Amino acid sequence: MGSPDATAWPRLTLKQAEALLCAPGQRFEIETVLIRGIPTRVWKNAPPDLRALVEISRMHADRAATILEDDRVSFEAQYRAIASLAHALAERGAGKGDRVAMAMRNLPEFVVAFFAITSLGAIAVPLNAWWTGPELEYGLKDSGAKLLVADAQRWARIAASREALPDLENVIVTRAEASVDGTEALEALIGRPNDWATLPDKPLPGAPLGPDDDATIFYTSGTTGAPKGALGTHRNLVTNILSSGYNAARACLRRGEAPPEPQPKVFLTVIPLFHVTACSATLMGAMAAGNTLVFMRKWDAAEALRLIERERVNMTGGVPTIAWQLLEHPDRAKYDLSSLEAIAYGGAPSAPELVRRIKQEFGALPGNGWGMTETMATVTGHSAEDYLNRPDSAGPPVPVADLEIRAEDGVTVLPPDTVGELWSRGPMNVRCYWNKPEATVATFVDGWVRTGDLARLDEEGFLFIVDRAKDIIIRGGENIYSIEVENALYEHPAVTDAALIGLPHKILGEEPAAVVHLAPGTRASEAELQDWVRARLAPFKVPVRIAFAPEMLPRNANGKILKRELRELFADSSSRP
């Protein structure tokens, strides 16, 4: 198509790019199928299920699939480990529809366990590795998990709850320094990661699978406090493979370039695989394209810079926090970061300044998108020149997705550039909430998800998130549901009124802060209440500041706390006790 002319950008409209990329016979061809009785546009060339994706991944043979410190696992070795573990899980009673939970940080073992479970037709339940023991117990009990694969640190939090989990029949623990009573060692079943290449060549178990069979339960908290399990299907997950590829190809056409043939990339994956952003939007594409995922034991910006140089990392990101810390690290100039091609993120508010600096200082293309657990991640994609020109947008939806902005009645579709509630439809939408029929009916309507986000769509279809109708604070990509923290504060005997709000934070996007009113004659310090919450919830949910109000908190006529007024308390340090 010749060399692009920057002054003529965009060379194609969104509709023109879609017509070229989605034409019959092309990689991104679209067809319409019935999903739960609703005609739905889908990617015609997506793998039918996750077992087929595992078979595809084997074609990448000796290329590195995952890297963690000294563990380097090829796609062939990973395939053998997946097949061996799938047979072991089947021998322990796991079959189609059974829930098998996972509780671990980012490890090569996570990838193997996830695909071993889903290849069987069982339902993988990745639990949040930040959760406390009681929170993990809730996830296991709510899902009715029959088996659990956990790392030693997570199992140490859960072990005391074993008797309270009658459905949990088997526990497999990895990376324990010694044998753990009442569990099996994963290493006894498949060995350590660097040994997987020597495992026998077994076929995957042959359970019948369909695209719309259940595959995963990812937990997302709700404003009623208790986490809700979003029940996803094989189709939900494989949809992301072509959605991500389409977004990249469209960016090329928009600048006047022919999309290149897909080439395997190296990703520094620092966001947790128990989130759909990493598991669905990143891992699924990596299995299909042969991308290498480089993991870190814990996030450290200096170590990330070293890994980018050593492993010639092409892409990283996940949440704006990562991009900011890489940009502002004092030792950045000491490392060769020339391999970086893109830094993409979602899951937290980001400043337009960040978009510009990624391009200017790294020479990499910025990217973001919008999705949620209920949409199994990717619905919109935003990158390259489109993002630089609309840094406050989340991009347009992929062609298999529909977005609408509706009025409060949930029916009336509003015109462009009008703010209302965002509704999303497409093959990425999960089926329902696990064991939560009332929440399911309220959220999933005739193939649509009512997101709770307040947003607008411009004339071209670019999405702009304006605010969240759901009471959520997003701290560095981690969702904090206000009512959960407020309930923990209310449990303190001195607290009679409490509200959680989000304070802007340049790196994390937001941080939680609380305002409380104490009962007359009682006392409690900020540190005491922070410790109180820390003992009950994951550390990232603990308020970074707590202000004390002398009166009950202000409310509107419906009794809802006026949280916008409370932010003023944090502009004056005298509000702190």
Beta-bridge mates of residue 548: 516
Average pLDDT over residues 356-362: 87
Cβ 81 vs Cβ 112: under 8 Å? yes
pLDDT in tens, 92-120: 999 999 999 999 999 999 999 999 999 99
Class assignment of domain 472-575?
A: alpha beta
Average pLDDT over residues 410-414: 97
Q: Does 469 score more than 70 pLDDT?
A: no
Indicate the angle between helix axes 301-311 and 320-327, nearest 10 degrees. Answer: 80
Fold equal for 88-231 and 472-575: no
What pLDDT is stored for residue 563 in this prediction? Answer: 82
- Cα distances from 485 to residues 221, 415, 430, 543, 566, in angstroms, run 12, 37, 27, 8, 16
pLDDT in tens, 242-297: 999 999 999 999 999 999 988 999 999 998 999 999 999 999 999 999 999 999 99
Average pLDDT over residues 222-239: 85
What pLDDT is stored for residue 575 in this prediction? Answer: 36
Q: If you average pLDDT over every residue of the chain, what do you get?
A: 91
What pLDDT is stored for residue 560 in this prediction? Answer: 62
Predicted confidence band of residue 480 (pLDDT cuts 50, 70, 90): confident
Tokens representing 474? 């997003």
Q: Does 1 score more than 50 pLDDT?
A: no
Using the structure block, give the residue that is written with the tokens 């009573």.
181
Q: What share of the chain in percent tops pLDDT 70?
A: 94
SS3 content of the chain, % helix, strand, coil (to 5): 35, 25, 40
What pLDDT is stored for residue 473 in this prediction? Answer: 87
Picking from 203-212, 529-538, 564-573, which range would have the lowest pLDDT averaged per residue?
564-573
464 Cβ neighbours under 8 A, 6+ residues apart: 392, 393, 394, 455, 456, 457, 458
For 554, list phi and psi in degrees, rounded to 5: -65, 140
115 Cβ neighbours under 8 A, 6+ residues apart: 50, 53, 54, 82, 86, 287
Indicate the angle between helix axes 14-21 and 234-254, nearest 10 degrees. Answer: 120
Q: Name the residue among 127, 119, 178 with its Cα closest to residue 150.
A: 127
Predicted confidence band of residue 348 (pLDDT cuts 50, 70, 90): low
Question: Quick check: helix, strand or coil at residue 107?
Answer: coil
Strands 184-185 and 214-221: unpaired
Q: Does 576 score more than 60 pLDDT?
A: no
What pLDDT is stored for residue 109 in this prediction? Answer: 98
pLDDT in tens, 484-535: 888 789 889 898 888 999 998 888 889 999 999 898 889 999 999 999 999 9
> 88-231 maps to which CATH number?
3.40.50.980
Q: Does 422 score more than 80 pLDDT?
A: yes
212 CA to centre of own chain: 21
pLDDT in tens, 21-55: 999 999 999 999 999 999 999 999 999 999 999 99
Q: Does 141 score more than 80 pLDDT?
A: yes
358 CA to centre of own chain: 22
Domain extents in the chain: 88-231, 472-575
Tokens representing 238? 């494989």
Picking from 3-12, 17-26, 379-388, 393-402, which range would have the lowest pLDDT averaged per residue?
3-12
Distance between CA atoms of residues 445 and 476, nearest Å? 30
Predicted confidence band of residue 188 (pLDDT cuts 50, 70, 90): very high
Q: Does 577 score more than 70 pLDDT?
A: no
Q: Name the residue among 274, 246, 229, 259 with its Cα closest to residue 129.
A: 274
Predicted confidence band of residue 347 (pLDDT cuts 50, 70, 90): low
Helices (H), 260-393: 276-278, 284-289, 301-311, 320-327, 352-357, 384-389
Distance between CA atoms of residues 382 and 397, nearest Å? 9
Tokens representing 575? 């509000």
